[in-house]
Amino acid sequence: IEEKFDAIVVGAGMSGNAAALTMAKRGMKVLQLERGEYAGSKNVQGAILYADMLEKLIPDFRDDAPLERHLVEQRFWMMDDRSHFGVHYRSEDFNEERPNRYTIIRAQFDKWFSSKVREAGATVLCETTVTELARDAHGKVIGVRTDRRDGEIHADVVVLAEGVNGLLGTHARLRERPKPDKVALAVKEMHFLPRETIEAHFNLKGDEGVVVEAAGTISRGMTGMGFIYANKECISIGIGCIVADFQRTGETPYGLLDRFKRHPSVAPLIEGSEVKEYSAHLIPEGGYKAIPQLYGDGWVVVGDAAQLNNAIHREGSNLAMTSGRIAAEAIVQVKSRRQPMTAANLSVYKKMLDDSFVIKDLKKHRDMPMLMHTNSQNFFLTYPQLVSRAMQNYVRVDGTPKAEKEKVTLRSFVNARSWTGLFGDAFRLARAWR
């Protein structure tokens, strides 16, 4: 390609599409490059879509986006091997005109999102892998090289929206490769069932949806979570744990998923289903402390490639869309002032991101990832087992006086963790959460 572009976006996931769309809508000449056969073909998500962040890009998205179910219920489960203790929140308020959260299937959703990017005027090239960043003699990024025979393609700025692996950025030494204790490996299956069966299994009507998020002994003492999302005609079920924990324990992701599916609280939900898809993907989980340099001479990085993922609240795509949009708005600002795309001028992206929920939320929970990781045995094994036993002791009516039952429960906690351990855990958790 001979012509020069205002911006090249690497990747057509949530962050890349948000960035390309925003810049194209503002009249910039944008080239977007995606290695997959089509946008979404390589992408994995649970998946919950957060409407607010998409509305900021495509206000009328509900008219034609491939949405599955709007969420009316959230279930949090703390599990041991035979039980779960849950907090469920369901509200009729979520049956609103403009629902706040939907389940989606990324392959379909990304295709649709990409069609909006094209409609806005961006050039989108799929089946094109960016192999290298092109730089000038001063090290400024001036474009990219791809696996096509077109040679270098030049642009004023390159938006790195290449996802969690971020090979391009790490090879170019713009940031470090994500460390095994800062990324989770998640596996997911799609279980197909007739629509009415799904609605009966999850107590839903129409397009109502439900999400189950589960932690406990299902991750065998590793830092991780399982999830179950009801779509229209299939159920997404998966589990993910920190990669360093897999290395330490020798557990396998598919082994965990298999056990999760056979758990007595889970098996009835997917009973009779047919598995048609299986996928695996990394998730950035290092939080605020893992965020790399976000901009430089001729480049910015967004989404998972920038480790912008809120593992505590299980949000990623919304941070990706927001960082993509904000980076694009920063670029438009620099361009409209006719300034060059230098690190100094692009630093406005970081300032704008710092003011958004993306950095504020990650900063708030900056100590949580390390706390969870270094105390995984306690939080994901010991406490779930203790809570399960306490609950069973509480609800089982067997003639034991209640005061005695309470003593037994308290003793089980103290024996397992000691008073110092219990207060220490509570203190560390409260401090990391604040």
CB 323 within 8 A of CB 292: no
Taking the complex as a whole, the smallest distance from the CB of residue 367 to ligand FAD amounts, in Å, to 21
Shortest Å, Cβ 79 to ligand FAD: 18
Query: Cβ neighbours of residue 310 under 8 Å, at least 6 residues apart?
Result: 287, 316, 319, 361, 362, 365
Q: Which two tokens stand for residue 353?
A: 């991101």
Q: Which is nearer to ligand FAD, 215 or 390 (by Cβ)?
A: 215
Nearest residue (CB) to ligand FAD, 104 versus 390? 104
The least CB distance from residue 346 to ligand FAD, in Å, is: 18
CB of 420 to ligand FAD, least distance (A): 37
User: What six digits make up the tokens of 162?
Assistant: 């290449």
- Point out which span in 5-13, 334-342, 389-397, 426-434 binds ligand FAD (CB under 6 A): 5-13
Cβ proximity to ligand FAD, 168 vs 230, nearer residue: 168
**Binder among 7, 8, 9, 12 for ligand FAD (CB under 6 A):** 12
234 binds ligand FAD (CB under 6 A): no
Chosen residue from 281, 325, 335, 350 binding ligand FAD by CB under 6 A: 281
35-74 positions binding ligand FAD, by CB under 6 A: 35-36, 42-48
Scanning 28-36, 245-253, 335-343, 373-381 for contacts with ligand FAD by CB under 6 A, the matching segment is 28-36
Short-list 256, 265, 312, CA closest to 284? 312
Output 140 or 314, the one with its CB closest to ligand FAD.
314
Q: To the nearest whole angstrom, how small is the minimum distance from the Cβ of residue 46 to ligand FAD?
A: 3
Q: Which of 169, 224, 238, 298: binder of ligand FAD (CB under 6 A)?
A: 238
Q: Does 163 bind ligand FAD (CB under 6 A)?
A: yes
CA distance linking residue 64 with residue 36, whole number of Å: 23
- Contact call for residue 11 and ligand FAD (CB under 6 A): yes
283 in contact with ligand FAD (CB under 6 A)? yes
Nearest CB to ligand FAD, comparing residues 160 and 193? 160
Shortest Å distance, C-beta 69 to ligand FAD: 13
# chain residues binding ligand FAD, by CB under 6 A? 39
> Residue numbers of the site for ligand FAD (CB under 6 A)?
10-16, 33-36, 42-48, 129-130, 161-163, 168, 186, 188, 238, 240, 281, 283, 303-305, 309, 315-318, 320
